[in-house]
Structure 1
Amino acid sequence: MITHNQSATFPKSSVNPHGRIVGQGDFTYRVNTQWAKLDTLKNPVENCHDLAIDSQGRIILVTDNTANNFIIFNKDGEFIDAWGTEYPGAHAIKIVNENGEDFIYVVDSGWIVNKNWDGKSTEAWESPFNKVIAQSGFISKLTIDGKLIFTLGHPQTLDVYTPDMPFRPTDIAIAPNGDLYVTDGYGSDFVLQYDSQGRFIRCWGGHENKNDNLNLKNTHGIAIDLRIPNDPHLIISSRAEQSLKLFEMNGDYRSTIDVAGAYIGGPKFSKEHFFAPVCWSHIDNTNAQDSGFISIFNKENKVIANLGGTQPKYIDGKLQPMQSSWDVFQHCHGICIDDEDNLYVGQWNSHHALPYKLERI
């Protein structure tokens, strides 16, 4: 079903990228903008913030439209179900399987629709008349059908933050032992570690360290790298620094991956590679609107392809600035990867765009 808002989902070129081939080298994909078959009058979306795949192979989209925070599709894009009204700032979703049962972790960043919106302001974040305004965020663990198990709230209740420190989390990673790692990327930029029962263990990061390696700025995403046996570690985006930073599981700093030109989110792993959404390209000394793409990294953490972006180039081992090709995406925000190596892409601030499917060639 063609949606009522689909004509407004395309990037700056105003050309529908449906059927376009994107990528470089061994990583090329055909863009399917018509994958999601959804009547958006019945099941509206605001921002397609993130996607995940459950053990049944269903793709679950999380959106910050409280008519239905969770929208479920099959791999062909057919609508299955929708539910959830409790997450006005829904921002990230992870699905884990525990003893044969799927569970959802949803991250709410704390943004709510403003009842005093002036009808025009959408990026005046400090204005009381902006479309959305900030409150404290939270993380919830749910059953696969949406029943609440527990919630993690503002760390002031743990005597970790002071009450004046904002907590607006952006992402979560779940370790093999069940430990939870939360990025506070719209709040105070710390990473908080909890055990599987939600009991606080430690935190690190922030953006006021004298050692820049320890700083995180707009830490937007997080994932656990399990590609090397017996060497699990964290890869965490420091989006405002255009970098990904590697930490031990206890928070000790390891190294930094420079991603020049890319305001990058957290990784999604597939075999020996990982994929990361880029919300903006850095152009004319700013994060340019409608300039997203997706970067693919090899096992050495080098960029080997950009989907909807320029071909990566290294000179003397240094990655040269990357940017959007301007003809596929607006603001890439969340991705997931199926068992046939296809990608599903959600976008933020893209005129209510539904997810695209990138079909591996």
Structure 2
Amino acid sequence: MRRYRVAVIPGDGVGKEVIPAGLEVLEALAEREGGFELTFDLFDWGSDHYRATGLMMPPDGLDQIRSSDAIYFGAVGSPGVPDHISLWGLRLAICQPFDQYANVRPARVLPGIVSPLRAVTGPELDWVIVRENSEGEYAGAGGRVHRGLPPEVATDVTIMTRAGVERIFRFAFALARSRPRKLLTIVTKSNAQRHAMVMWDEIGAEIAREFADVAWDRMLVDAMTMRMTLRPQSLDTIVASNLHADILSDLAAALAGSLGIAPTANLNPERRFPSMFEPIHGSAFDIAGKGIANPIGSFWTGAMMLEHLGEKTGADRLMRAIERATADTSLHTPDLGGKATTRAVTDAVIAVIRGENL
């Protein structure tokens, strides 16, 4: 029996609804598969913890989860807690020390879901966006001086290192090579950002020579938004900086039907630290507590986690169950234009896992 220990951090808002739903689905899947066992360690870190203690997680939080095989994360952010405190106090406080430098976000139109592009069907939109997740525009370098005075100045400095850029490009090219189309698009803004992004372009071209079997092109980030909406079939694997990929991946999720279905993996590819898996929809406090949050993103995230752990058969089975559920439009939650509840979608996916020959 293969055994895995997973640190579970539901976090804030709908994270406290979709992560428990994901745990139910993962437990049902492990029971069905029979070859592996998941042990979940629950951590109540987040904005409620901050209100009680002044910290988003305990000072020794990283040590508490360091030995986990993976981290299953819900969302962070809450009214009344400044976003920069919640983000840097929890999510980034895990991603950066654990060197989870490759953020991977697949996007495709699942069965039964209609893209806002209307004419687009599944095969025309099947992307994986690779986001540099450790430096760039979110490196945290900068500061403020002369606060509250007329000459007040605030800076956020983009930091790109050759080592950081090389490793994300090698990761992205290798991922593109593993996909049928062997196609990579590099996103840039080197026409306006003439230092860091020019280096980004130059290193991308250098690394491309190591992957002669991968076709690649380069696209300015603003033009990329147009290409994603007008020519989605021309894209496959995409690599972009921390900020650019953050924005483009939300666009990709929306074009695939909803932020509620989209997963992400924060990977430490060398596996020196645990990797973290989360749906990308955020805490969504406007619907929190109503029982209508879409749990599909947390289920797909669970499938990515299983594949990372080496349980590809289980991951594939879970994806088939997800697709069986989304194909039934009566199981669409409000973000997809339906009336289904979190509970109904969860029960349906579990029923498929337990009862169908997937």
Structure 1 length as normaliser, TM-score?
0.33
More RCO (CA 8 Å, sep 6+)? 2
Higher Cα radius of gyration: 2
Larger fraction in strand: 1
User: TM-score normalised to the size of structure 2?
Assistant: 0.33
Higher helix share: 2
